[in-house]
Amino acid sequence: MNAAEQRAPGVLLLAAVALLSAAALGYEILLTRLLAIVQWHHFAFMVISIALLGFGASGAFLLVAGERIRLSVGPFVALAALAFGVAAPACFAIAQHVPFNVLELPWSLRPLGSLFLIELLLALPFFIAATAIGRALIVFGSSLSRVYAADLAGAGGGALAAVGLLHLLPPDRTLDGLGAMAAVAAGLAALRAAHIARWTLLANAAALIVVLAVDPGWGELRISPFKPLPQALRVTGAKPAESRSGPLGLVSAVENEKVPLRWAPGLSLLARAPVPEQVALFVDADGPTAIVRHRPGSPPPAYLGDLTSALPYHLLERPRVLVLGAGGGIAVLQALGGGARSVDAVELQPDLVAITRDRYSGFSGDVYGHPTVKLHVADPRAFVEAGRGEGFDLIAVDALGASPSGLHALEEERLLTVESMRAMLARLSPHGLLAVTGWAQLPPRGGPRGFATLVDALRTEGIEPAARHLAWIRSWNTSTLVASRSPLTEARTAAVRDFARARAFDLVHVPGIEAGESNRFNVLERPWFHEAAARLLGPERERFVRGYKFDIRPATDDRPYLWSFFRWAHAPEVLALSREGGSGLLAVGYLALPVTLVQAAVASAALILVPLLLVRRRGGRSGTARRPVTLGGFFCLGLAFLMMEIAFIGRFTVILSHPLHALVVVLAAFLVFAGVGSWLAGRRGTGDSGNSGSITLPVAGIVALAAAAIAALPHLTSWLLGSSPGTRIAAAIVLVAPLATLMGMPFPRALARLRRLDPALVPWAWGVNGCASVVGAVLATLIAVHQGQAFVIAAAALLYAAAAVACGRMGRESRNREGSSRG
């Protein structure tokens, strides 16, 4: 390496670093989408941990082998960028061929090895990109701020690039787009080294051609055979009809003329009307929902009146209906069949609406083109919070999208929280109804949680006693909850009884219900649902919730995990039952969390700390044995940063309408503004002074802003949801910016202080911080599921305070040493 290279990175190399950083962050975001398609949503959360594992391992690699790298920085970055361009799609393709079945987790440890191998494969591209960027940061130490700025600017652009690729390309080709971006970065970096530019450029051109022209089949998505879409395609006569993709998901339509789909969850066992032929719709290979064959001008299919969700239409006359989550239009047809005078249908997924309205317009009877139907492609929660127009007589919510198997345990349900139900109740006319239909799981857990959530919403709105405003019925596998702003009259209560009796549905709760009225048709050992409803409405409600075998606390915006029921207090009992055939009691989606947490800790220790141990043996005493408090401070910094970041991503998932939106906006904002904070910390140079205030002040600001966020976000959520998408994105950036800027300051200042006090500990500080970051991404999600996002934010603030105390001790020792040296 020559002196000129150390002094000036040059515009071309900075552009190469920015493009490679963009490709790395784009890879992180695209992996969340791809894993949600080929596996399930709960695997998306581990991507941040995988990315940090790759970045941490690269730091350890540069420490161990950095001095042995003889290639100058330009060619090194070029070759690394080429390697990333090949590795990004290739590692994902290879990972898909690793045999892995998440459904085995409740009774077998066999999937753990496969999952670990998948994580290592997916971390490799991050390792390659981080090694190239880290090499540039090391070589251009005197221009570190310029290289770091290029890195962060590229990361922000990578978030936008990922969304753009999801708009332009099918999911299985998006990683090829990132490969092309990395190939361009390689070309820019290669121009820095003239003596090898020719062969590097040729290699770059060849890689670009391969990435763009390769057969699309090499990266074809291999969806888990246990997901609903592959299962549907196994049925004789099934064939894929159409597929559309975008940032919000992959929508697939499946036709079957030989064995048509008959999707009618909870259909009365006494129903006589036939279920017409249907087309199945899947989002990210999950589902299904359906489009029903219907002739224009004819009455909607009669079977829709024999579902539990038809109950509210027997309590209202010619209602004005709002359908939230309209999907393929079944709920809209049901509303028209129930005599609705107008129907507002809201659906977030535009491709799902497009397939229904375009390809299957004739098949569905042009359900969305009906003169009394008004379609809104929008976030249902935001539509409700906007609060425009007159009140609705009925708001119908379908909660059948989440499988009762527990695979959706980590999925945020933004529409069925206490706050959302309050907003829906506020949109009702004086005698209007809110109806929610979901699965009747056994043992009862989803139903009681939904009921508890609705009870809390009524009581928070001052609607008491809640028992007089609620009705609940169940079939053999579904249940429907109905809530009214006004007390249910005797006529309405009688109508509920008549509707349930005529269709052999069981009463769970109506005003004045007696114990003998429940559990008559779909008979259980005991009237579990009725007993749960009675206890949730009674004076010992809190005691019942605390003692229940499953977590049935009401879902809130702070803890929106409606389908996660696991309680550690009852873990031994549930695990014992699982070994006796009761594995269905273990939510597979939830089990992925502790498993990934353990694997993240093992992998980070093996790939980050073990190389540091090798360096210690080679280089002598590192001082680690006498600095546990110091290293504990760096561990707290890494853990706190990731926990705060994950908590904000989770909180803004509600505000920004989709997990991808929250990940892109919040992650990019944290990276960019934390980088600004790091730059400011280095610019002021206070970290070298030994003054503990240089770390304490930003930490004090972090604690204050975290407390403000905990207090303000619940109130801001409703207001922001009623605003435009652009306003919500801008608000998210504005709210994150000051906190992220302060969060970027403690680590570089603490590191500069440690470099003065004990240089041998610096690599260990990097390593410990990296390990904490890898673990923190998973740990934050695990805590949030049980305690909520606010708890995670508060815990992160306390960890920052603990780190400040540890760093304060460093500052005092540094000042003592300086005083001794002067003496």
Other beta carbons within 10 Å of 767: 30
| pLDDT for res 1 | 47
- Position of tokens 């099918």? 170
Are 211 and 251 part of one and the same domain?
no
pLDDT-derived band at 750 (thresholds 50, 70, 90) equals: confident
> What separation, in Å, do the N-terminal and C-terminal C-alpha atoms of the chain show?
41
**671 exposed, middle or buried (CB, 10 Å; 0-12, 13-18, 19+)?**
buried
Domain boundary residue among 202, 226, 250?
226
pLDDT-derived band at 687 (thresholds 50, 70, 90) equals: very low
| pLDDT for res 77 | 87
Q: Does 509 map to a domain?
A: yes
Model confidence over 292-347: pLDDT tens digits?
A: 999 888 899 999 999 999 999 999 999 999 999 998 999 999 999 999 999 999 99
Mean pLDDT over the full length of the chain: 84
C-alpha 322/C-alpha 268 separation (Å) is 24
Question: Residue by residue, what is the 3-state secondary structure of 87-116?
Answer: HHHHHHHHHHCCCCCHHHCCCCCHHHHHHH
Given a cut of 60, whether residue 823 has pLDDT beyond it is: no
- The CA–CA distances, whole Å, from 24 to 16, 233, 334, 624 equal 12, 35, 47, 32
Given a cut of 60, whether residue 624 has pLDDT beyond it is: no
Query: Of the segments 139-153, 166-180, 713-727, which one has the largest average pLDDT value?
Result: 713-727
Model confidence over 564-579: pLDDT tens digits?
A: 888 887 777 766 666 6
42 touches 143 (CB < 8 A): no
The residues facing 394 across adjacent strands are 321, 433
Are 278 and 310 part of one and the same domain?
no
C-alpha 482/C-alpha 472 separation (Å) is 6
C-alpha 689/C-alpha 756 separation (Å) is 9
DSSP designation for 405: T
64 touches 767 (CB < 8 A): no
Which residue did the predictor score with more confidence, 496 or 133?
496
| pLDDT for res 611 | 73
Are 444 and 506 part of one and the same domain?
yes
Are 218 and 239 part of one and the same domain?
no
Given a cut of 70, whether residue 129 has pLDDT beyond it is: yes
pLDDT-derived band at 688 (thresholds 50, 70, 90) equals: very low
Are 607 and 696 part of one and the same domain?
yes
C-alpha 213/C-alpha 216 separation (Å) is 8
| pLDDT for res 693 | 45
Strands of 470-474's sheet in order across: 373-377, 342-347, 320-324, 392-398, 428-439, 478-484, 470-474, 506-509
Given a cut of 70, whether residue 5 has pLDDT beyond it is: no
Given a cut of 50, whether residue 46 has pLDDT beyond it is: yes
C-alpha 595/C-alpha 118 separation (Å) is 14
- Report the alpha-carbon angle 668-669-673, nearest 5: 120
Q: Structural domain of residue 764, as residue ranges?
A: 596-615+627-815
Task: Report residue 689 as tokens.
Answer: 């002074």
Are 147 and 247 part of one and the same domain?
no
Average pLDDT, stretch 460-475? Answer: 94
C-alpha 312/C-alpha 319 separation (Å) is 10
pLDDT-derived band at 24 (thresholds 50, 70, 90) equals: very high
Query: Parallel, antiparallel, or unpaired for β 506-509 and 470-474?
Result: antiparallel
pLDDT-derived band at 769 (thresholds 50, 70, 90) equals: confident
C-alpha 559/C-alpha 579 separation (Å) is 30
Query: Of the segments 84-88, 299-303, 586-590, which one has the largest average pLDDT value?
Result: 299-303
Can you say how many angstroms the Cα of residue 798 is from the centroid of all Cα atoms in its chain?
A: 25
| pLDDT for res 672 | 87
| pLDDT for res 109 | 74
Are 348 and 491 part of one and the same domain?
yes
Cβ partners under 8 Å of residue 433, min gap 6: 312, 315, 316, 319, 393, 394, 395, 482, 483, 484
C-alpha 368/C-alpha 351 separation (Å) is 14
Other beta carbons within 10 Å of 583: 19
Which residue did the predictor score with more confidence, 493 or 806?
493
Are 258 and 346 part of one and the same domain?
no
Domain boundary residue among 291, 313, 331?
291
Are 181 and 265 part of one and the same domain?
no
Q: How many domains are contained in the chain? A: 4
Are 262 and 317 part of one and the same domain?
no
Q: Does 67 map to a domain?
A: yes
Task: Report residue 152 as tokens.
Answer: 């962060």
Q: Does 467 map to a domain?
A: yes
C-alpha 280/C-alpha 288 separation (Å) is 6
Q: Of 95-99, 270-274, 350-354, 686-690, give the lowest mean pLDDT range.
A: 686-690
Average pLDDT, stretch 718-732? Answer: 90
Domain boundary residue among 226, 255, 281?
226
| Length of the chain in terms of residues written | 823
C-alpha 676/C-alpha 686 separation (Å) is 16
Radius of gyration of the chain (CA): 29
DSSP designation for 505: P
Can you say how many angstroms the Cα of residue 128 is from the centroid of all Cα atoms in its chain?
A: 26
Question: Residue by residue, what is the 3-state secondary structure of 368-379?
Answer: HHCCCEEEEECC
340 touches 306 (CB < 8 A): no
Question: Alpha helix (H) ranges present in 39-72?
Answer: 46-65
| pLDDT for res 211 | 59
541 touches 453 (CB < 8 A): no
Q: Does 589 map to a domain?
A: no
Can you say how many angstroms the Cα of residue 697 is from the centroid of all Cα atoms in its chain?
A: 33
| pLDDT for res 695 | 85
Task: Report residue 382 as tokens.
Answer: 């935001």
Average pLDDT, stretch 243-261? Answer: 91
C-alpha 284/C-alpha 497 separation (Å) is 39
- Report the alpha-carbon angle 377-454-413, nearest 5: 45
Q: Does 821 map to a domain?
A: no
Q: Which of 140, 101, 118 is nearest to 2 (CA)?
A: 140
Phi, psi at 434, each rounded to 5°? -110, 125
- The CA–CA distances, whole Å, from 600 to 112, 187, 210, 639, 748 equal 12, 35, 34, 13, 25
Given a cut of 90, whether residue 267 has pLDDT beyond it is: yes
pLDDT-derived band at 586 (thresholds 50, 70, 90) equals: low
pLDDT-derived band at 817 (thresholds 50, 70, 90) equals: low
The residues facing 437 across adjacent strands are 398, 480
Q: Which uninterrupted H or E stretch holds 12?
A: helix 11-38
Q: Does 662 map to a domain?
A: yes
Are 139 and 240 part of one and the same domain?
no
C-alpha 644/C-alpha 418 separation (Å) is 24
Give the SS3 label for residue 324: strand
Which residue did the predictor score with more confidence, 243 or 208?
243
Q: Does 620 map to a domain?
A: no
Task: Report residue 499 as tokens.
Answer: 């509707």
DSSP 151-213: HHHHHHHHHHHHHHHHHHS-GGGHHHHHHHHHHHHHHHHHTT-HHHHHHHHHHHHHHHHHHHH
Q: Which uninterrupted H or E stretch holds 783?
A: helix 762-787
Q: Which uninterrupted H or E stretch holds 470?
A: strand 470-474
Question: Alpha helix (H) ranges present in 548-585?
Answer: 571-577
Q: Does 739 map to a domain?
A: yes
Model confidence over 446-467: pLDDT tens digits?
A: 899 999 999 999 999 999 899 9
Average pLDDT, stretch 123-141? Answer: 86
**243 exposed, middle or buried (CB, 10 Å; 0-12, 13-18, 19+)?**
middle
| pLDDT for res 169 | 85
Are 751 and 674 part of one and the same domain?
yes
User: What CATH number should be reported for the domain holding residue 179?
Assistant: 1.20.1250
Q: Which of 90, 96, 79, 172 is nearest to 124 (CA)?
A: 90
Task: Report residue 135 as tokens.
Answer: 């090499």
User: What CATH number should be reported for the domain holding residue 317?
Assistant: 3.40.50.150
